[in-house]
Structure 1
Amino acid sequence: MTGRLAEVALRTNAAQAATSHGVAHSVQVAPITVAALITPKWLTRHLDVPSEATDVILPGYCDSALDDAVDPESPRTTWRMRLAEIAGLAPEKIVCGPNDCRDLDAWLGGKIREVDLTDHSIEIIAEINHAPRLSIDEVVRIAENLRADGADRIDFGCDPSRRCDRVGDYVKALIAAGHRVSIDTFDPHETRAAVDVGASLVLSVNSSNRESAADWGCEVVAIPDTPDDLDSLESTIEFLSRHNVPMRLDPILEPIGFGFGASLLRYVETRRRYPELAMMMGIGNLTELTDVDSAGVNMLLLALCEEFGVGSVLTTQVINWARSSIKECDIARRMVHYSLKEGVPPKRVSDQLISLRDPKLRPYSPEALESLASGIRDNNYRIIAQDGVVHLISAGVHLCGDEPFAMMSELLSMPQSSNVDVSHAFYLGFELAKAKIAAQLGKQYEQDQALQWGHLTVEEERHRIPRQSRHRKD
């Protein structure tokens, strides 16, 4: 069942869905313009179910009220039960479909099966750069935010140009706040102060400071003396092994332009040489030093780590385009773990890292769009964005363009614009701006809903114009 405006679109999508799933179907077009305005109570006067029907699919917007009591004094009878009586079917055969008829095929086939992204196998170490330049309270506050985004360990990044005599106080405060802490320094004095109060990992150790590592009593990250010198890494590994120092290996990821590809091969070689030892990858050299949004880069690097058996990553989020790297890594590590565990590509697993564009577009066909434009008889404004074009539709109005200012100027020059007051003009301007962004980027635009930016999406409250204006659908 649907309303008149969605008839053409529903008939098209229902026919395609019926063919895909091998079912017979019929469409009832209710005597109402907009399907979203259909209520279960209203349906008790208008539902007309063919005798051969086995199931009734109502518009998705009915869902919130379908199991409400018909009479508050008699809560055992719901609108679903009342509609089932009218249809001559069991109550469970009265169901609500998707809000948008273009999603009908996916809805009939069941939504994408539940994907459990609880598990992961990669530790995220979040570095606070130049931490001694901040107050202890600032460091703890930043650490709390990093943990909320998915960090498992906080790396206290020391200042190479100046020794921090209070490093112990910082680390003690972080541990008191419940954090696992690593210390990032080559200064033995800073390292000793940190491990004495509970730091459990030292970044990093090579031939310059490995002698001291034997006395720290904690795990260290072993690195080569220079990134391309795996022999120096081997020497440090042998020394640490002789002194029973627990370690993880980091052959050093190089930035693009400085041997990025070769450094990846060194991870492969290190894993081949030392299959039993833990490894770490510092991925900030790529995300922070590449002019590109960080989500895709983090996803690929976490995938490499999962495949190479690199059990931890060190990253930071200083540069603005990488400001959400910790959260991105948390999402990515779950996706790649699921992908390798299930033996499937990480597609249709999660849309949280799809920000610039959307996973799927649901454009209207030209026929459905034309039917919608010609079928509207009220003064409510509908906004549609697809194929790089914004459509503004109302009774006797169908404006198309990609520039909201020009569209509003044209609208206000038309006789039909007499119903556009100040508040409604603001609403239209706000929605047209969103529609322009969607059209420009190739995103799905839904009027009165937030654009989807993956894990960065901020849902919007439904915008309502005072009812006396009656200039838009409620």
Structure 2
Amino acid sequence: MTGKLAEIALRTHAEEAVANHQVRHSVQVAPITVAALITPKWLTRHLDVPDTATHVILPGYCEAAIDDPVHAEQPEMTWRKRLAEIANLPPENILCGPNDCRDLDAWLGGKVRSVELHEHSIEIIAEINHAPRLSVEEVVRVAAALRDDGADRIDVGCDPSRQCLQIGDYVKALVDEGHRVSIDTFDSRETVAAVTAGASLVLSVNASNRDAATQWGCEVVAIPDTPDDLESLDTTVNFLGEHDVAMRLDPILEPIGFGFGASLLRYAETRRRYPEHAMMMGIGNLTELTDVDSAGVNLMLLALCQEFGVGSVLTTQVINWARSSIKECDIARRLVHHSIEEGVPPKRLSDQLVTLRDPKLRPYSAEALEALASGIRDNNYRILAQDGVVHLISAGVHLTGDEPFGMMSELLSMPQSKNVDVSHAFYLGFELAKAKIAAQLGKQYEQDQALQWGYLTVEEKRHRIPRQSRHRRD
């Protein structure tokens, strides 16, 4: 039993799971979108069990109420029993499965299914802004780093303020290093030199230069004369088509405050008008011109591209908050490809883009925390962080707070602190600082381990206290 949103995913994973366990199955899709909203009471009006079924597996979220009484005056009649009567099955055969259908095989006793995010269908074009202001060697070095982060093509961004007579040298150097190259200029002399040197894509073409584009012999990006003028894009597309010029279409993404929403509608309209044409979206107008960390913005834009059939994105990473946009786009394009191909939300697939906070916290209950604090008999220090509070625990010590300096000051004033030497104090200060960050952001803190920042995580070497300190933290 599931809701409409999870139908595709459940059918796929159920087929795999039951094949591993040699059982037959059927799937009932309830008239509700989200399976998590299904309750046992609601199911009494919607459960439809085939006569051949021996067990019913409900969404895991039903677990919280399945054994509640239907009526307070009849505590023996639970929702499980009521559903069993409807299904004509023993109550013990009415089961609550996993919350996530991807865990069905593991719930049945198999292994947790891993998701491979190797596939993608969007090309990443990484622009090097004002490339002629750099040396050829610098451009080659930057391009190599961009390729390592996931770029499929290097876009040589020319300088609008002055013509570069050596642009062919830049392009040739990149081509010699195995890069696919595009040239970003409206200057025809720069375009010809770049194409001659090996550039295979020109950004961009409209009424101002489409006549010249017929002589370049390469693919071009067709754009409107002004962003809100799709009719001018139609004219350029028709002209290029009549002259057999390969093209991809870019209706131009506008920044927030300058018609962002309307520009998204133009992408949808362009796809409707030209269902067979390749398309491109320049996404830097959002990531570079919005005061927000770029990872989430990149994911949303890549999702739109995947749904609209936009096969390439052009981006850059100039401003600091977008300095890792290429890597983010590479992760995002794999997530959205899998999501749309499999018909599942991009959730619990990868935590690489979950950077500020963590996917899930594992806090201790108040009772467990108190038992830990009261049960410790040694002088080693345990550090925990949850619910915005840092805990420092040892034999006879349970300090709480959110300020490492204050906590260390309080610790050093206690008789138990005689075991804290200089190296130990440095260690505790370092770990308390990490714990404070975790508590402040709502991250999971694990002592002696690096905080998890998704794809930005840098694992830490384990720094043990020198052996001569009797009370080191092992």
TM-score band (shorter)? 0.7 to 0.9
1:427 aligns with 2:430: no
Q: Per the alignment, do residues 145 and 111 of structure 1 end up closer, same or farther by CA in structure 2, a change over 3 Å counting? A: farther
**Residue number in structure 2 paired with 1:158:** 158
Shift of 1:471: 2.0
What amino acid maps onto 1:373 in structure 2? Answer: A
Q: CA deviation at 1:110?
A: 6.7
Amino acid at match of 2:333: R
Aligned to 2:39: none
Q: Does 1:411 align with 2:411?
A: yes
User: How far does the alpha carbon of each residue in 1:219-274 deviate from its partner, in whole angstroms, 9 at most, with x for none?
Assistant: 00000000000000000001100110000000000000000000000000000000
In the TM superposition, 1:48-447 aligns within 5 A as 112-447=112-447
Q: Which amino acid aligns with 2:298?
A: N
Find the aligned partners of 2:109 and 2:223 in 1 and give their Cα distance. 51
In the alignment, the residues of structure 1 paired with residue 108 and residue 180 of structure 2 have an alpha-carbon distance, to the nearest angstrom, of 47
1:244 is paired with a residue of what secondary structure? coil
2:188 alignment partner AA: P
Give the superposition deviation at 1:473: 3.4
Amino acid aligned to 2:191: T
TM-score (norm 1): 0.77
1:455 correspondence with 2:455: yes
**Retained in 2: the 8 A contact 1:156–1:183?**
yes
1:328 & 1:359 partners in 2: Cα distance?
Answer: 17
Specify the code of the residue in structure 2 equivalent to 1:333.
Answer: R
Distance verdict in 2 for CA 1:364–1:144, change over 3 Å: same
Name the amino acid aligned to 2:180.
R
Deviation at 1:470, TM superposition (A): 2.6
Output the aligned Cα RMSD. 1.2
Query: 1:108 deviation in Å?
Result: 10
User: What CA distance in whole angstroms lies between the structure 1 residues aligned with 2:109 and 2:149?
Assistant: 34
Structure 2 distance, partners of 1:127, 1:426, is: 44
Q: Within 2, Cα distance between the matches of 1:361 and 1:182?
A: 45
Deviation at 1:107, TM superposition (A): 10
Deviations 1:369-390 (A, max 9, x none): 1111111111100000000000
Query: How far apart, CA to CA, are the structure 2 residues paired with 1:108 and 1:255?
Result: 49
Which residues of structure 2 form unaligned runs of 5+? Answer: 1-105
Shift of 1:463: 1.2
Query: What secondary structure, in the 3-state scheme, does the structure 1 residue paired with 2:468 have?
Result: helix
The amino acid that maps onto 1:310 is: V
How far apart, CA to CA, are the structure 2 residues paired with 1:109 and 1:159? 61
Q: Which moved more, 1:199-208 or 1:370-379?
A: 370-379
Identity of aligned residues (%): 84
Corresponding residue of 1:72: none
| TM-score normalised per structure 2 | 0.77
- C-alpha separation between the residues in 1 aligned to 2:232 and 2:140? 36
Counterpart of 2:356 in 1: which secondary structure?
Answer: coil
How big is each residue's C-alpha offset from its partner over 1:322-352, in whole Å with a ceiling of 9 and x where there is no partner?
A: 0000000000000000001110000000000
Residues in 1 aligned to 2:259 and 2:375: alpha-carbon distance in whole angstroms: 62
Q: State whether residues 157 and 183 of structure 1, in contact with CA within 8 Å, keep that contact through their aligned partners in structure 2.
A: yes
Do the aligned partners of 2:465 and 2:473 also contact (CA within 8 Å) in 1? no
Kindly tell me the number of residue pairs found equivalent between the two proteins. 369
**CA–CA distance in structure 1, aligned partners of residues 381 and 473 of structure 2:** 8
For 1:111 and 1:299, locate their aligned partners in 2 and report how far apart those are by CA, in whole Å.
Answer: 30
1:64-107 superposed Cα distances (whole Å, 9 cap, x missing partner):
xxxxxxxxxxxxxxxxxxxxxxxxxxxxxxxxxxxxxxxxxx99
Gaps of 5+ in 1: 1-105
